[in-house]
Amino acid sequence: MAEQKHQHHNLFHHHKAEEGKPIDYKKEEKHHKHKEHLGQLGAVAAGTYALHEKHKAKKDPEHAHKHKIKEEVAVAVAIRAGAYTFHEHHEKKEAKKHHHHHGHHF
């Protein structure tokens, strides 16, 4: 096990360079921008749902505990979506940097 390399950074990325095709950095940049926007949407939706459940907890004292749990889960999802958005923003910047560095204009 000590001999195995553990690389998680590119775990879900397509390895286009390994297939013998040049990487289209402009396309990569657009792809990460799209995923960044999806992350933002997810963060806003989860945050909105958390606020909704917080409101329901106040208005429905009989089921307040259930609403509080849903609120806390939604907050955790919103935080994770924000982290995902940050990650995709970084990936987009890297693709943009490579695009300009290599001078490819696809």
pLDDT of residue 79: 98
Q: Which of 18-32, 46-60, 86-100 is the least confident region?
A: 18-32
pLDDT in tens, 66-89: 999 999 999 999 999 999 999 999
Q: What's the mean pLDDT in 26-54?
A: 96
Domain ranges of the chain: 26-96
Measured between alpha carbons, how far is 16 from 13 in angstroms, rounded to an integer? 9
3-state class (DSSP) for residue 22: coil
pLDDT of residue 98: 82
First to last CA, the chain: 42
